[in-house]
């Protein structure tokens, strides 16, 4: 019977020689074995955890943590819960990552463009920076910044004093704390007003340029307003701000804000390392913009700076953004190396101390991985949207 | 309109005076300096700043590493000199940094393994060498077996078994990177092909693997592999503690490799696929003979930078207590008998030089390959 | 399809269930090696030399367990663990026994899925400061930066102590004990806080050990002991009684040197201890000779103490609380009968 159908309609047969059937067969096989693997792991894990009395629930979340964290952006003390410790970790990770992304981008753009400079020595120095930094492991760089640069700074008693009440020692950089007095609100208002004025002026300048072809000094005027107006109000209100200068008291400085060396090492290390990658991306992007574009801009009388800013970089951005996104994500993931320099990030606090104290290893690791995955997915989505926006500009 | 006729013609009626021939096609050093260093006042200012910066940096490094360094003597000499590197420290720790705690009497086995590896790699990488296919076979088939026998030992051959807990230093770093490099490319290619597959489940599985792996920090994966694995799988399926990070690093970089290969695959014109299909070539032959050779050639620089990334990532295994080269440097650095003002900097400088040497070598080789292949296309 | 799924589940169950729970003792015997989690580098307690040979107090405890189970004190594989990772490694089955400077606490016994099998070292948490700071009491530590190891009771005790004394402080924590000591030495913090035994051991890792002093206050009780996984009573007994045999041996004057001669002793306690009489081996699943192997190859509690941390070691610690119960301490083995 089957032989007959085979001979009549060989292409529709259900044999493994049929490509479609084969495809389905392999896929079912793959899905099945993966499912079996997942099931096996699930069963094994839960049965192991049960047999060994390891907590299977997330009940630890609301228990008191009982340990201290030295750098927190959100309120936390020893009476806080493990859940709050988790959030401290997340915020600390995001904080150092965002700051490092900012610095790395700045550094990367400057170095990337410097590598293309007409000036031989500038290009060479930029190239050396990239070639040295990219070829040394980040962990080594972090350890170097922390152990060989920041830790050997003098002890608090012999701090390096920087004018303005700033102190640098092996406990970090301590800067005065700003204290606001009544009237400080006026300065804020003045600042808001200045921003509003700048936006209006920007629009006006654009219109004016379209109408008359003359360019107004937007940057200069904006800067002057943004700094000048609040300053005038500040003086007029009788300087409603005072600084609490840090005082050496006992072991350490009291008062003032402290930038810890652990944080600084991580921030510097991440920025310098990722900056070198961003520099290469920027260089590649700029070089990919057709030379005719630059030449046309010069022919139209654009200055080199304006050519770069108005012609080359906007086009290069389109090429730059996708790899830039993955560098940002790499940086965020690399911030987990905080454990090596003692900065309390998500991995150090949550996947470290909290995991150790609660014993809920599986749950804690699952949450930690989920946070990083979520950051990765959100960033990818945001950058894709940004990318689409830029892609549409191309007609 | 009428005015126009009154104007003189644009054409120059008088003969132009003859110009001197160009003195030299190549600019004189002075012109070069003027053109490349002082073309504008701003450029000139930059030049001065950067020359000062470069000179200062070079001076710092050179005076630390060479001029003020301690070259002979012992701990006392190093402690007395807070200005320069302490090279006797490296000399004394050199064996530890290379082999870790590998038994001294058996260290020749590491040397031999590394020498064979170096010869085979050189043979493979030197494009003009004869019989490279033999080298490839030796490297991918014979060498892993030989390395295993030599490094771990087989009691039958009178090579005592050396527990992997004793392995350390540069040995671990090189082992991890070579295994990672050898395995990440093929796995990465498979993942990339899977991701571009028409089969929806295959595609989804590959995509999920790639994105999840690329989304999580490597140290968390290492932690799970080395401290939690027996919780997930039965005892007899948990590999050696050194093998697990090896597998982790290979899988981890294969996800990155997959994205690199995918970029290459996307760059191959559709006509290539269609022509192959029209000729009735099977999927695997099409990939093996037509698409992949072209795709991989395009992305050689990215492949090599993934390798470099992998090499640098081997430093992270320190988190699970494996004494790789950097961890060995850290351990040596905190040795109280050598405590001194410049021990840390010396250790890091040395480690930096070693890592930089390997990575820079790789990137230079890929650049030369790229040039060679680019020439090949032109002819 | 449904039957296929069922089949898959069955296969998965079969694969996993077989080893979902296997007795640690049988496993160790089958593998011929004991996997023991120890400190990565604490002088006197657990420290590898350049050739990877481990020595120390907790190392000797591991060797004693190996001698008891396998008859050979050398058949131990040491896995160095940071305090942060140690319980995870034990829970998961990565190691057979945890012999770390780990403090026995109620929450660790009750919620981590592990059990402490006794106390091999009674300790307390102290503070180490630089002599130059002229601090004489922990009350003077207001505003100090304190270096601690992550994942230790130290972290928690500090929080309690400073809160109850209403003093301010800030911690600098690392996973790695070496990094913590180094950070204190290099001046990153003013105070190093840990168990006093660890503080004393840290001194051996310092370039200028005499520049620091340990403050007199002890702010906590720190009974350090070996730990095993829950749910394996037989293995728990092996871990517990190996320790008690060593303590009892000291009490009865049995040492590594005289153990063979002691076998013919008339003292029934000694005869039972050494397995000449009674059934100390059979009931626990080991050979009758196991206590002899432990004492012969590793020594009794006093020998191990003196050799690694006591009077014959560079640490020169007093026995203190760790002296036997009849000599002013609290080390006490339940009767062996």
Is the model more confident about C3 or about B271?
B271
Q: Is there a domain that residue C159 lies in?
A: yes
Of A357, A359, B233, the C-alpha closest to C90 is A359
For CA atoms B36, B38, B43, B46, give the dihedral sign.
Answer: positive
pLDDT of C16 = 45
Residues C183 and C305 occupy one common structural domain: no
pLDDT of A27 = 85
Chain B interface, Cβ < 8 Å to C: 96, 100-101, 103-104, 163, 165-166, 223, 226-231, 234-236, 241, 320-321, 330-331, 334, 336, 339-340
Q: Is there a domain that residue C2 lies in?
A: no
Structural contact between residues C44 and C199, judged by C-beta atoms closer than 8 angstroms: no
What φ, ψ does residue C34 adopt, rounded to 5°? -100, 125
List the 144-183 stretch of A: residues with Cβ below 8 A of C: 147, 151-152, 155, 170-171
Structural contact between residues A254 and A247, judged by C-beta atoms closer than 8 angstroms: yes
What DSSP line would sit under C39-69, residue for residue?
Answer: ESSBTTTBEE-TTS-EESHHHHHHHHHHHHH
Cβ neighbours, 10 Å, residue B176: 25
Looking at the partner chain, which of C151, C171, C183 has a beta carbon nearest the beta carbon of A356?
Answer: C151
CATH of the domain at C152: 3.40.190.10
**A·B CB contacts under 8 A:** 144
Give the CB-side neighbour count of residue C326, counting CA atoms within 13 A.
7
Tell me which of C172, C194, C220 is where a domain ends: C220
pLDDT band at A26, cuts 50/70/90?
confident
Of B363, C332, B258, C175, the C-alpha closest to A135 is B363
Is the model more confident about A386 or about C128?
C128
* Mutation to test the A interface, candidates C170, C176, C181, most A Cβ within 10 Å: C170
Residues of chain C with Cβ-Cβ distance to B339 below 8 Å are 185, 206-208
Q: What is the mean pLDDT of residues A379-384?
A: 81
Nearest chain B residue to C77, by CA: B165
Residues C35 and C98 occupy one common structural domain: yes
pLDDT of C120 = 95
Domains of chain A, residue spans: 2-51, 89-151+261-393
Of A202, A226, A227, the C-alpha closest to A215 is A202
pLDDT of B376 = 56
pLDDT of A79 = 85
B318 interface with A at CB cutoff 8 Å: yes
For CA atoms B354, B360, B361, B363, give the dihedral sign.
Answer: positive
pLDDT band at B159, cuts 50/70/90?
confident
pLDDT of C168 = 87
CA torsion A75-A81-A82-A85 (nearest 10°) is 10
Q: What is the mean pLDDT of residues B274-301?
A: 89
Residues C277 and C200 occupy one common structural domain: no
pLDDT band at B378, cuts 50/70/90?
very low
Residues C132 and C41 occupy one common structural domain: no
Looking at the partner chain, which of A125, A139, A334 has a beta carbon nearest the beta carbon of B53?
Answer: A125
Q: What is the mean pLDDT of residues B61-89?
A: 86
Burial classification of residue C283, based on how many CB atoms lie within 10 Å of its CB (0-12 exposed, 13-18 middle, 19 or more buried): exposed
Residues C228 and C323 occupy one common structural domain: yes
Task: Name C97's bridge partners.
Answer: C36
CB contact under 8 A, A347 and B220: yes
pLDDT band at B375, cuts 50/70/90?
low
CA C274 to CA C248: how far, in whole Å? 10
Tell whether the model's pLDDT for residue A144 goes beyond 60: yes
Domain A89-151+261-393 CATH class label: mainly alpha
CA A308 to CA A293: how far, in whole Å? 10
Tell whether the model's pLDDT for residue A4 goes beyond 80: no
pLDDT band at A375, cuts 50/70/90?
very high
The tens digit of pLDDT for each residue in A321-345 reads 888 888 999 999 999 999 999 999 9
Range of the domain at C35: 22-122+224-327
Residues of chain B with Cβ-Cβ distance to C85 below 8 Å are 223, 227, 320-321
Of B268, B267, B262, B261, the C-alpha closest to B286 is B268
Residues C26 and C84 occupy one common structural domain: yes
Is the model more confident about C10 or about B145?
B145
C38 interface with B at CB cutoff 8 Å: no
What φ, ψ does residue C171 adopt, rounded to 5°? -100, 150
Closest-CA distance of chain A to residue C268, Å: 38
Residues C63 and C75 occupy one common structural domain: yes
Residue with tokens 């926006």: A389
pLDDT of B379 = 40
Q: What is the mean pLDDT of residues B213-222?
A: 91
Closest-CA distance of chain C to residue B115, Å: 23
Return the HEC string of A285-331: HHHHCCHHHHHHHHHCCCCHHHHHHHHHHHHHHHHHHHHHHHHHHHH
Residues C92 and C235 occupy one common structural domain: yes
Q: Which of A14-23, B121-130, C88-97 has the lowest mean pLDDT?
A: A14-23
What does the block give as tokens for A309? 């800013």
CB contact under 8 A, C111 and A55: yes
Tell me which of C190, C220, C250 is where a domain ends: C220
Residues C106 and C236 occupy one common structural domain: yes
Tell whether the model's pLDDT for residue A3 goes beyond 60: no
Structural contact between residues A110 and B28, judged by C-beta atoms closer than 8 angstroms: no
Tell me which of C167, C198, C220 is where a domain ends: C220
Q: Which of A179-183, A374-378, B76-80 has the lowest mean pLDDT?
A: A179-183
What DSSP line would sit under A89-132, residue for residue?
Answer: HHHHHHHHHHHHHHHHHHHHHHHHHHHT-SSHHHHHHHHHHHHH
Residues C241 and C172 occupy one common structural domain: no
Q: What is the mean pLDDT of residues A91-95?
A: 95
| Total domain count, chain C | 2
- What angle separates helix C83-92 from helix A361-393, to the nearest 10 degrees? 110
pLDDT of A165 = 81
pLDDT band at B8, cuts 50/70/90?
low
Regions in chain C scoring below 50 on pLDDT? 1-2, 5, 8, 12-21
């Amino acid at each position: 019977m089957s032989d007959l159908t085979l001979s009549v309609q060989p292409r529709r047969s259900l044999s493994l020689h049929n490509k479609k059937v084969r495809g389905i067969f392999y896929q079912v096989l793959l899905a099945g074995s993966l499912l079996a693997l997942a099931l096996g792991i699930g069963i094994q894990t839960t049965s192991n955890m049960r047999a060994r009395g390891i907590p299977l629930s997330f009940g630890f979340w609301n228990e008191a943590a009982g340990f201290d964290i030295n750098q927190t952006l959100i309120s936390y003390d020893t009476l806080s819960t493990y859940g709050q410790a988790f959030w401290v970790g997340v915020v600390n990770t995001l904080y150092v990552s965002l700051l490092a992304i900012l610095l790395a981008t700045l550094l990367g753009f400057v170095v990337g463009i410097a590598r293309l400079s007409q000036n031989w020595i500038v290009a060479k120095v930029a190239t050396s920076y990239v070639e040295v930094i990219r070829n040394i492991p980040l962990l080594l760089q972090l350890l170097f910044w922390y152990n060989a640069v920041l830790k050997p700074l003098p002890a608090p008693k012999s701090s390096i004093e920087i004018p303005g009440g700033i102190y640098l020692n092996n406990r970090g950089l301590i800067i005065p704390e700003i204290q606001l007095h009544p009237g400080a609100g006026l300065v804020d208002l003045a600042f808001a007003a200045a921003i509003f004025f700048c936006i209006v002026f920007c629009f006006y300048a654009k219109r004016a340029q379209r109408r008359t072809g003359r360019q107004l000094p937007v940057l200069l005027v904006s800067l002057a307003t943004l700094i000048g107006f609040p300053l005038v109000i500040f003086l007029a209100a009788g300087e409603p701000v005072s600084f609490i200068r840090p005082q050496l008291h006992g072991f350490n400085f009291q008062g003032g804000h402290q930038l810890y060396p652990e944080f600084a090492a991580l921030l510097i290390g991440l920025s310098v390392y990722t900056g070198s990658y961003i520099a290469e991306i920027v260089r590649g992007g700029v070089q990919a913009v057709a030379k005719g574009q630059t030449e046309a801009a010069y022919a139209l009388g654009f200055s080199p700076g304006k050519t770069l800013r108005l012609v080359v970089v906007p086009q290069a951005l389109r090429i730059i953004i996708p790899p830039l996104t993955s560098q940002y994500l790499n940086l965020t993931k690399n911030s987990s190396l905080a454990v090596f320099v003692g900065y309390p990030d998500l991995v150090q606090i949550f996947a470290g101390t909290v995991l150790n104290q609660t014993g809920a290893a599986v749950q804690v690791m699952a949450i930690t991985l989920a946070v990083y995955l979520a950051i990765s997915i959100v960033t990818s989505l945001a950058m894709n949207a940004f990318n689409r926006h830029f892609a549409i500009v191309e007609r | 309109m009428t005015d126009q006729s009154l104007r003189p013609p644009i054409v120059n009626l008088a003969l132009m005076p003859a110009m001197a021939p160009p003195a030299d096609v190549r600019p004189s050093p002075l012109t070069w300096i003027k053109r490349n260093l002082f073309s504008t006042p701003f450029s000139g200012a930059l030049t001065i700043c950067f020359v000062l910066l470069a000179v200062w940096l070079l001076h710092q490094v050179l005076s630390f590493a060479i001029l003020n360094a301690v070259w002979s003597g012992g701990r006392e000499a190093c402690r007395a000199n807070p200005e320069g590197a302490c090279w006797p420290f490296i000399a004394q720790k050199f064996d530890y940094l290379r082999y870790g705690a590998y038994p001294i009497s058996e260290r020749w086995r590491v040397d031999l393994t590394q020498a064979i590896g170096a010869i085979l790699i050189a043979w493979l990488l030197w494009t003009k060498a004869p019989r490279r296919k033999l080298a490839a076979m030796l490297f991918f088939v014979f060498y892993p077996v030989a390395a295993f026998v030599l490094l771990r030992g087989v009691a039958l051959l009178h090579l005592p078994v050396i527990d992997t807990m004793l392995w350390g230093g540069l040995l671990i770093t090189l082992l991890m990177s070579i295994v990672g490099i050898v395995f990440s490319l093929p796995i990465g290619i498979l993942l990339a092909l899977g991701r571009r597959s028409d089969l929806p489940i295959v595609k989804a599985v590959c995509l999920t693997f790639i994105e999840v792996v690329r989304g999580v920090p490597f140290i968390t994966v290492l932690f799970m592999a080395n401290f939690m694995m027996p919780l997930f799988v039965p005892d007899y399926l948990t590999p050696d503690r050194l093998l697990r990070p090896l597998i982790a690093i290979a899988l981890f970089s294969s996800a990155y490799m997959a994205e690199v290969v995918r970029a290459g695959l996307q760059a191959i014109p559709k006509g290539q696929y269609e022509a192959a299909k029209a000729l009735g070539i099977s999927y695997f032959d099409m990939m093996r003979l037509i698409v992949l050779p072209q795709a991989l050639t395009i992305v050689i620089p990215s492949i090599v930078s993934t390798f470099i990334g992998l090499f640098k990532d081997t430093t992270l295994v320190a988190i699970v207590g494996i004494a790789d080269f950097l961890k060995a440097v850290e351990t040596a650095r905190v040795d109280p008998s050598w405590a001194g003002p410049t021990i840390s900097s010396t250790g890091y400088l040395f480690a930096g030089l070693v890592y930089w040497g390997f990575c820079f070598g790789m990137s230079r080789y890929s650049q030369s390959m790229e040039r060679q292949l680019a020439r090949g296309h032109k002819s | 399809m449904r039957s296929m799924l069922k089949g898959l589940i069955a296969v998965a169950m079969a694969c996993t269930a077989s080893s979902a729970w296997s007795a640690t003792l049988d496993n160790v015997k089958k593998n011929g090696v004991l996997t023991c989690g120890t400190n990565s580098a604490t002088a006197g307690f657990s420290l590898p030399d350049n050739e990877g040979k481990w020595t120390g107090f907790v190392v000797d405890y591991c060797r004693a367990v190996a001698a008891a189970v396998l008859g050979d004190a050398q058949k131990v594989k040491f896995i160095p663990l940071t305090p942060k990772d140690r319980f995870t490694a034990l829970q998961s089955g990565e190691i057979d026994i945890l012999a770390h400077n780990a403090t026995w606490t109620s929450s660790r016994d009750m919620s981590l899925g592990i059990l402490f099998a006794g106390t091999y070292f009674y300790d307390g948490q102290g503070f180490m400061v630089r002599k130059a700071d002229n601090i004489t009491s922990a009350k003077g530590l207001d505003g100090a930066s304190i270096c601690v190891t992550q994942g230790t009771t130290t972290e928690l005790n500090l929080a309690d102590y400073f809160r109850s004394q209403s003093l301010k402080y800030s911690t600098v924590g690392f996973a790695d004990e070496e990094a913590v000591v180094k950070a204190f030495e290099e001046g990153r913090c003013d105070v190093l806080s840990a168990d006093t035994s660890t503080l004393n051991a840290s001194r051996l890792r310092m370039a200028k050990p005499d520049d620091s002093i340990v403050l007199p206050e002890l702010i906590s009780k720190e009974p350090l002991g070996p730990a095993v996984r829950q749910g394996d009573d037989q293995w728990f007994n092996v871990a517990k009684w190996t320790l008690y045999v060593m303590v009892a041996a000291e009490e009865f004057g049995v040492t590594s040197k005289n153990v063979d001669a002691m076998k013919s002793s008339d003292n029934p306690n000694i005869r039972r201890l050494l397995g000449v009489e009674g059934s100390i081996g059979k009931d626990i699943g080991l050979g009758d000779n196991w206590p002899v192997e432990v004492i012969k190859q590793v020594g009794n509690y006093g020998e191990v103490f003196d050799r690694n941390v006591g009077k014959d070691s560079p640490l020169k610690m007093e026995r203190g609380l760790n002296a036997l119960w009849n000599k002013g301490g609290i080390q006490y083995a339940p009767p062996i009968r």
